[in-house]
Amino acid sequence: QITLKESGPTLVKPTQTLTLTCSFSGFSLSDSGVGVVWIRQPPGKALEWLALIYGNDEKHYSPSLKTRLTITKDTSKNQVVLTMTNMAPVDMATYYCAHDRPGYGFGYWGQGALVTVSS
Amino acid sequence: QSVLTQPPSASGTPGQRVTISCSGSSSNVGINPVNWYQQLPGMAPKFLIYNDNQRSSGVPDRFSASKTGTSASLAISGLRSEDEADYYCAVWDNSLPGVIFGGGTKLTVL
């Protein structure tokens, strides 16, 4: 059974760096055919893809946020970490991580973590 | 602004068939498989359809999808109240490169 769960601060101040951790079970991120993706959703708005990492350490970032994002994996801990620098109020959103299998899709999602950006 | 265009809303009565469109371009829908996700109110999205028209495990056959050229669509037949949700299409865009989501369609069951 595949499960994922996001963790991190619920409140960050403007200009701070956000660090979110996706802890997962039921699969290993040592396989190039498996990935973990980060997606966010501002309140009342649409889903927005942020970043993706595969087991072979191949990484992809949203072009509009690329300069602010870093995605890494710790295979031994079954975790994927997303950092986003220079947070602003517009970055307030629920942040989701999900399991990705190329040619398939985001089949399993975490419950999401709401991040508020306020001073 | 989403590169994938979905109608913001759709509606139907119980038992009806509704369709939701997803319009893209030659760099995304035209050449890559489209996936669909359902998001019930207050919940995380759920995987519905992959590879244009394949239902994910456990998804009822009331849900179907298709693609022609640079447009895709999701159809829900025998509409039920529990189908009331937001629906999103998603696809890889070779020009970015990256994944793009449609703006979402809010389905109301009247």
CA-based end-to-end distance of chain A: 40
Report the sign of the C-alpha dihedral through residues B96, A115, B85, A37, in that order. Answer: positive
User: Is residue A31 scored above 80 in pLDDT?
Assistant: no
Q: Do the beta carbons of residue A4 and residue A22 sit within 8 Å?
A: yes
DSSP conformational letter for B32: S
pLDDT at B2 over 70: no
Chain A partners of B50 at a C-beta cutoff of 8 Å? 103-105, 107
- Kindly state whether B56 is in contact with chain A, defined as any CB-CB distance less than 8 angstroms: yes
pLDDT tens-digit map of B72-107: 999 999 999 999 999 999 999 999 999 999 999 999
Which residue in chain A has the smallest CA separation from B33?
A103
Q: What is the mean pLDDT of chain B?
A: 96
pLDDT at A102: 84
CB contact under 8 A, B98 and A37: no
Beta strands A11-12 and A113-117 are: parallel
B108 CB-near residues (< 8 Å, 6+ apart): B9, B10, B11, B12, B84
Substitution target from A45, A47, A101 for chain B, most B beta carbons within 10 A: A47
State the pLDDT at residue B47: 97
The pair of three-digit structure tokens given for residue B104, joined into one six-digit string? 């979402």
